[in-house]
Amino acid sequence: MKTKWREEIGFQILVNGFLLAVLIAIVVPLWRVVMTSLTPLDLYNKSGVPAFMWPWDWSFAAYKQVLQQQLFLGAALNSAVITISGTALSLALTVPLAYALSTRSLPGRNLITTLILFTFLFHPGLIPDYLLVTRLGLQNTVLAIILPPAVSVYNTLVMRAFFEGIPEEIKEAARIDGANDLQILWRIVLPLSVPILLTIGMFYAVWFWNEFFTPIIYLNDLTMQPLPVLLRNILMSARLNEYLEYDAYTVSPVATLQSASVLLTMLPMLILYPMIQRYFTRGALIGAVKE
């Protein structure tokens, strides 16, 4: 009995130690970025390294300077358009597909599921995607970003499993009352599926907000590029003046402007996630685990 108790305690110590190490690995870089963005010019030492601990004084000048840049505001608007339209389109396509696959009486249900899984396991690659998008004339449009990844196989299967967990008796009662499949989906299934809708919607929103590789390929117009692309350019550019107005007499150092840009890019998802977090466990677990 004591041996089993010691093993459980030892396992808990290992798990807690691992989680603590992961937490430190996440918090320390984030804390450094926050402190860098708040460090005023007069506290910056000659080596250009900001105070790692809480500064005696802090300044929001870097945030103000970044938010005054027209290119940054335009990129934020582009990201918002891509995220909202992409999430709406993805949910509009994923929900009916998942609901149809959850219907056991659907002819060819197993074959359709197999074909969908085939596209998940064997992706054609970048070159066919590029040829398809260019031949459809979608370059320099939002559709080039939101159409190719509009339906995620993983999200579809998770949502299908959630729909399958809804009692069939409810649907049968609606059919007896004269409702068709579309009415059952709209008036019964969707109101009962708020957790999975918010969960999958959050997955799509985070993906579209953080995507930068696809816009680099298909968006040649600088004014159409979203925030992740602009942030990448700011962090990798040897000349910051190409993307943010900066000179030797600016109120904020280069590292401070870069850190402020990183945090401003993260801010929308950081605000949105806590609002939906309480639905994550219920939506993800019920959709992923079948009894």
Helices (H) and strands (E) in the chain, counts: 14, 0
Q: Which domain holds residue 32?
A: 1-59
- Same-domain pairing of 117 and 188: yes
- Same-domain pairing of 55 and 72: no
The DSSP secondary structure of 4-59, one letter per residue, reads HHHHHHHHHHHHHHHHHHHHHHHHHHHHHHHHHHH--GGG--TTS---SS--SS--
Q: Which residue has the higher pLDDT, 63 or 6?
A: 63
- Same-domain pairing of 55 and 95: no
pLDDT bracket for residue 124 (50, 70, 90): confident
Amino acid letter, 152: S
Across all residues in the chain, what is the average pLDDT? 82
Residue 283 has pLDDT above 80, yes or no: no
- The arithmetic mean of pLDDT across residues 147-153, rounded, is 91
- Same-domain pairing of 27 and 91: no
Domain boundary among 18, 42, 59: 59
User: Tell me, what CATH number does 97's domain have?
Assistant: 1.10.3720.10
- Same-domain pairing of 34 and 142: no
pLDDT bracket for residue 70 (50, 70, 90): confident
Q: Which residue has the higher pLDDT, 120 or 98?
A: 98
pLDDT bracket for residue 289 (50, 70, 90): very low
> Could you give the number of structural domains in the chain?
2
pTM: predicted TM-score of the whole model, two decimal places: 0.83
pLDDT value, residue 98: 93
Nearest residue to 35 via CA among 20, 17, 55: 55
Report residue 173 as tokens: 């009662």
- Same-domain pairing of 88 and 45: no
pLDDT value, residue 93: 94
Model confidence pLDDT, tens digit, residues 88-113: 999 999 999 999 998 888 888 889 99
pLDDT bracket for residue 249 (50, 70, 90): very low
- Same-domain pairing of 204 and 270: yes
pLDDT value, residue 46: 45
Residue 164 has pLDDT above 70, yes or no: yes
pLDDT bracket for residue 241 (50, 70, 90): low
Model confidence pLDDT, tens digit, residues 132-141: 899 998 888 9
Model confidence pLDDT, tens digit, residues 190-226: 888 888 898 899 999 999 999 888 999 998 888 888 9
Which H or E run contains 204?
A: helix 194-210
- Same-domain pairing of 53 and 125: no
Among 20-29, 34-43, 146-155, 243-252, which is the least confidently predicted range?
A: 243-252
- Same-domain pairing of 251 and 143: yes
pLDDT value, residue 83: 95
- Same-domain pairing of 112 and 256: yes
Domain boundary among 42, 59, 76: 59
Structural contact between residues 156 and 96, judged by C-beta atoms closer than 8 angstroms: no
- Same-domain pairing of 44 and 77: no
